[in-house]
Chains A and B, each alone.
Chain A
Amino acid sequence: MRPVKLLTAALAVALSLGASSDALAQAKDWKEIKKPALRPFKIQQPTRVALPNGAVIFLLQDRELPLINGYIVIRGGSSEEPKDKIGLVDLFGETWRTGGTKTRTGDELDDYLEMRAARVETGGDVDSTTISWNSLKGDFDDTFAVVVDLIRSPEFREDKLGIAKSQMNTVIARRNDDPMGIATREAMRLGYGKDSPYARIAEYDTVGAVTRDDLVAWHRKTVHPNNMIVGIVGDFDAKAMEQKLRKALGALPKGPAAAASKFEASPAKPGVYFVQKDDVTQSNIRMVHAGVRKNDPDYYAIQVMNEVFGGGFAARLFSNIRTKKGLAYNVGGGVGSQYDHPGLFTLSMSTKSESTVASVDALLEEIDKMQQEPISAEELRRAKDAILNSFIFQYDSKQKVLNQQLLLEYYGYPKDFLEKYQKAVESVTAEQVAAAAKKHIRKGDIALLVVGKESEFDAPLSKFGPVTTLDITIPDPGASKQTAPAAGSDEGKALMIKAADAMGGAAKLGAIKSYRMLSTLTVKGPMGEMALEADETTVFPDKQRQAMKTPMGEMTMVVTPDSGFMSMGGKMQDLPGSQKKGMLDSIRDSPMWLGSKAGDPAYTFAIAGDAKVGEIDTRVLEISGEGIRVKWCIDPKSGDLLRTIKSTPQGEQTVDFSDFRDVSGIKLPFKGVIKVGGEDSGVFQVKSFELNPQIDDAVFQKPAS
């Protein structure tokens, strides 16, 4: 059938009023359809006004609706905050607005603006802070007055800083609830390095360390006209608006220029990284290494390559991994670029736990293909068409045009960057794309990250190389500086000596270099109580092996100063850092070890009250030193240690001892009842205790995988 031309259509309208709707022919094949040239479209660029004090203003009139939007970008962002105050710029961004001004509290501003349905918001980013506002045009003056007041006299009231901190702490507490969030965050930390300004994250302690003075100082340091770029778009008279801005912003005194933000990165070593997340049915996979800046000579070839590889419905990743293999809902990626620092090459995908390794293979296969098989002429044309035909959407609103100019000005890129982009993309060749793929996707540089439930994976991740387990435990508040332990006392020292003597004396305890203990551990499992045979070998102060027979097979956990791992039914994995530390600490906070420290000046012994253990009134002794902190409940009459108390990430752990027996002159408890967070956790009954046994160091060795 013949293609319908627009003219024919128009004619048909004119001639056949009320004609039945099938009077007009339709194209049978989409390729037959004519596409008339796009009408000439003159992009209205904003007016640039540079004030004598250094502020740069962009004004763009848009009469369509009675609205005015404004935006000020100020140089300087979180990449410059001190590392013990990560979160400062985020807190600044929030409190700048909520904390109000000298004359009006944040709450008063809220009421004032909401009566006008106007908005003024502030924010903090990695290299800038911002104020944005929007209102009906009639409310512009009222709204802009608030903006100017915030620039000149912000107050950063303490109560609002408190709320902002509380909100940030909420984000910290919840950051491991969402597996995609974990993957995105940890991939950034692998790609840039966890201490890089572009990847580091706030902790309770870094948020806690930020004070109102820090916010005031940040404002003083950065909020100056010569660091500002201002953009306003909407229904206004350009001349009058320029006058208003000159008056309001031109009066601001110049300040010190912001330092150019510096780029620092120390990417993780290429390899395989794993985050254990057991409450999921799906693995999140990321592959990451360094990307490019937007002024890289290969930038245009990279854009075309990305389009072929990972962007859109027709891209290879989508077609082959989602459509053809049905492995993923989310899959995509490419070589990322940024204006002033290298972006990251990132591939991301999520897939059911049972197809995790198969999916990594599928991604690697696509990388190989991208590098080994040049893209076809058809792929090249399609990618260019997609980029160039949709180019108009870079400019299809005045807000977009304005934002574009603000960005280019901010990063010092040429004003005609977008126009050049179009021409440059058109001239990209298949050879350039092939070269870019080889240069900018480097298999050998990739950090592979998997977040998921390992026990359900289709194969071990070690297929791709040695696996490093990332510990994503959220550091507790105060982790960076423990609160000082209670002061020691003579009574404390005396009680400690009495307890050590009851065991056999500090000297005899000190002579114990190692032990082996066989015991039965009774734990509550999902199927009811379960008795497990346990075999523990410890060499003081820092080696331990625990083997346990479980219904799922033998489980072994080993910790030494250099390694920590566990194996279960033949599968091996590294212990998370927190668990390794927990095991090492448990060697040195054991009664035997600490008993030998009675009288040791490296330790503090403080009385911390009284407690009833069973029927016995005990004294509570707090022992701290060499990174260990634990409480003992001691029978003041006999000196017997009846209970130990320590805090663990799972909650407070108590062990109640009984069934004391003599082992080579040392009095040891043979029974212990363990509770965590007040709930029964397990009971151990010792079957045999051997002091200073013969030990083959090989039992602590990590078997080759």
Chain B
Amino acid sequence: MKVPLRGLALAMAVILLSTAMPALAQDLASFEKRIKVETLDNGLTLIVMERPEAPVFSFFIHVDAGSTQELAGQTGLAHMFEHMAFKGTDIIGTTNYAEEKKALEKVEAAYRAYDLEKRRLANRDDAKIAQLEKAWKDAIAEADTFVVKNEFGEIVDREGGVGLNAFTSSDETGYFYSFPANRIELWAYLESERFLKPVMREFYKERDVVFEERRMRIESNPIGRLVEQFLASAFTAHPYGWAGIGWPSDLRSYSATDAQKFFDTYYVPSNMVVSVVGDVKADEVMQLAKSYFGRLPKAPKPEPLRTVEPPQTSERSVVLRDPSQPFYIEGYHRPSTYDPDDAVFAVISDLMTSGRTSRLYRSLVRDKKIAAAAAGFSGFPGEKYPNLFAFYAVPTPGHTPAEMQAAIREEIERIKTTDVTADELKMVKTRAKANLIRGLANNQGLAIQLATAQNRFGDWREVFRQVDYIDKVSAAAIRRVANATFVESNRTVGIVESTKMATAPAGGQ
């Protein structure tokens, strides 16, 4: 509920297997032995990995729904529901659920009357709105009398849970924390209860909290302000065009009933994968999970999204004139993570961005000395659907977005016209292998990677296979993909033009 990530962990693990890699092959073999996967009768998939390094475990619940599942007028709802998943159930967080339920129904009825009147375009009656608003707030006050505040989080805290959090991205929603190993049954209880009967209590106060999150991430942050406009410009049809936090009007309007509908549609077992990694016995966890998570009612997997972003035919740009310092970003549409060229984009990204040997660092930071940082990355704002490959640069004082653009374009041109060297390609592939191994040393990271791959691709082994795909990428493929992707008509440019440029220090770079 704090940090909306993209499927970052997975993106980081999208790496490669070089030819001389006995260590990795061993790992995959040993993983096969330590991992159990099972799909319950209700469609829920469970992955358990035994990693008895210390008497603790981490879990991840991956829900295959994000802000791309929202409807116009209800943007931000996926993230809003994620916040509500911390509000408890019909057992946790209430002093008397039977009474609370009635009170919450009244809140919803009162809110609907108020919201409809408020949204009226003509002949709005302000006195009536005020009266309806009061009725709604009175109903909330009544419902609040049954609330035990934050009981869910409190139980996790006091039982020794750490890292209690969740995120919502454009593609998906994830819930996670870690517990001491002897809390495995408590975990099964809490996490199944949470998605068996979540209660939309304190919804409208939490909506205010979420609006504060919007003020922080978007409105009071220059890059946030730019990115919101940039994505809205790059995507005309696909929901990647709206920020996961949602538009202000929608945040002020959607209801607990809307959130409940979202939950009923998307939080069904067939759309969820649960992973547990740590000092646990796989058979025991499976049995507990069957018993507790087996209670979730079976329901059909939600329909795949209809909308596909139409091909872009002309360049677009957004310029934000702002008192903050300048910034430059440009993005090109690319196919989804399911495309056979996905690994080629991963290699291009690594080549452009990773470390001090990367092309953008060497050109913009080291040689031209015009930027403090520069990067090219995929999966913006998500990966499941066709998305953007974006380049950005942070100018050093006295340097302008136009200079960033020119220098980035030079590097793009180079990758289109000249084969990358064998050494560079080897570096990328070796780094991928090492990064994959580095990512295996952490229960939480593993749980996230396994569940995400399982839900996206139907197989957790994809975490390892990504490395194979990358290993097969050739210099020719890089040129082919770059030439097809990095073209003017496929581009959106975003600029923060500073109205108060910093003075360049004399003799500075």
A residues bordering B, Cβ < 8 Å? 4, 6, 9-10, 12-13, 20-30, 33-39, 41, 64-67, 98, 106-107, 110-111, 114-118, 134-136, 162-163, 165-167, 169-174, 177-180, 204, 207-208, 279-282, 312-314, 318-319, 322-330, 350-352, 382, 385-386, 388-393, 395-397, 474, 476-478, 650
Contacts and interface: CB of A to CB of B under 8 A. Distances in A.
B413 interface: no
Given A170-B396, A279-B222, A392-B160, A322 B294 contact: no
Nearest to B248: A281
A477 B506 contact: yes
B437 A177 contact: no
A173 B162 contact: no
Given A13-B287, A117-B433, A351-B212, A166 B508 contact: yes
7 contacts: A4-B185, A9-B284, A13-B286, A26-B192, A162-B369, A280-B215, A393-B160
B509 A165 contact: yes
Q: Select the residue from B92, B222, B508 with max chain A CB neighbours within 10 A.
A: B508
A30 B148 CA distance: 15
Contacts of B211: 352
A37 B182 contact: yes
Interface in B195-226: 202, 204-213, 215-216, 219-222
A203 to B, nearest CB: 10
Contacts of A64: 53, 441
B220 A173 contact: no
B180 interface: yes
A282 B212 contact: yes
Nearest to A21: B294
Given A64-B53, A167-B396, 9 more contacts: A13-B284, A30-B92, A33-B189, A67-B437, A163-B509, A208-B506, A279-B222, A323-B202, A390-B161
A389 B180 contact: yes
B431 A114 contact: yes
Contact of B505 (A30, A169, A312, A319): A169
B160 A386 contact: yes
Interface stretch (B65-73, B319-327, B459-467, B481-489): B319-327
B212 A328 contact: yes
A169 B162 CA distance: 38
B159 interface: yes
A396 B209 contact: no
A495 to B, nearest CB: 29
B182 to A, nearest CB: 5
A476 B189 contact: no
Contacts of A37: 182
Contacts of B53: 64, 396-397
Given A117-B431, A281-B215, A385 B159 contact: yes
Contact of B295 (A22, A98, A172, A650): A22
Q: Select the residue from A391, A396, A476 with max chain B CB neighbours within 10 A.
A: A396
Given A22-B295, A279-B324, A169 B397 contact: yes
Contact of A174 (B42, B325, B505): B325
A329 B154 CA distance: 18
A350 B23 contact: no
A324 B504 contact: no
Given A39-B55, A117-B431, A29 B209 contact: no
A644 B221 CA distance: 38
Interface stretch (B95-103, B120-128, B422-430, B450-458): B422-430
A170 B213 contact: no
Q: Select the residue from A4, A329, A477 with max chain B CB neighbours within 10 A.
A: A329
B179 to A, nearest CB: 9
A507 to B, nearest CB: 40
A34 B185 contact: yes
Q: Select the residue from B221, B356, B504 with max chain A CB neighbours within 10 A.
A: B356
A477 B505 contact: yes
Interface string B52-93: 011110000000000000000000000000000010000110
A180 B216 contact: yes
A98 B356 contact: yes
A313 B89 CA distance: 16
B164 A30 contact: no
B215 A110 contact: no
A391 B54 CA distance: 12
B366 A163 contact: yes
Contacts of A67: 437-438, 441
Given A4-B291, A24-B290, A389 B220 contact: no
Interface in B138-167: 149-150, 152-162, 164
Contact of A115 (B92, B397, B430): B430
Contacts of B11: none
Contact of A177 (B149, B325, B373): B325
Given A393-B178, A396-B56, A326 B503 contact: no
B437 A22 contact: no
B434 interface: yes
Nearest to A398: B53
Given A13-B283, A392-B55, A177 B324 contact: yes
A327 B221 CA distance: 19
Given A173-B397, A319-B150, A24 B291 contact: yes
B356 A22 contact: no
A389 B40 CA distance: 32
B380 interface: no
Interface string B346-370: 0000000001110000000110010
Interface string B484-509: 00000000000000001011111111
A325 B149 CA distance: 12
B435 to A, nearest CB: 7
Contacts of A395: 54
A634 B55 CA distance: 84
A626 to B, nearest CB: 24
B166 to A, nearest CB: 12
Which 6 A-B pairs rank lowest in CB-CB distance, beginning with the nearest? A313-B153, A389-B160, A21-B294, A326-B208, A117-B434, A173-B502
A175 B420 CA distance: 37
B190 interface: yes
A13 B283 CA distance: 8
Nearest to B278: A396
Contacts of A33: 185-186, 189
B247 interface: no
A35 B186 contact: yes
B41 interface: yes
A397 B157 contact: no
Contacts of B279: 39
B463 to A, nearest CB: 15
B220 A65 contact: no
A13 B36 CA distance: 15
B372 interface: yes
Contact of B291 (A22, A39, A326, A396): A22
B358 to A, nearest CB: 9
B262 interface: no
B207 to A, nearest CB: 8
Nearest to B155: A30
Interface string B30-48: 0000000000111000000
B288 A312 contact: no
B259 interface: no
Given A282-B216, A477-B506, A20 B41 contact: yes
B161 A477 contact: no
Q: Select the residue from B155, B157, B215 with max chain A CB neighbours within 10 A.
A: B157
Given A65-B440, A279-B322, A313 B150 contact: yes
B216 A9 contact: no
B183 interface: yes
Contacts of A204: 505, 508
A319 B506 contact: no
A649 to B, nearest CB: 8
A497 to B, nearest CB: 34
B135 interface: no
Given A110-B355, A178-B221, A163 B365 contact: yes
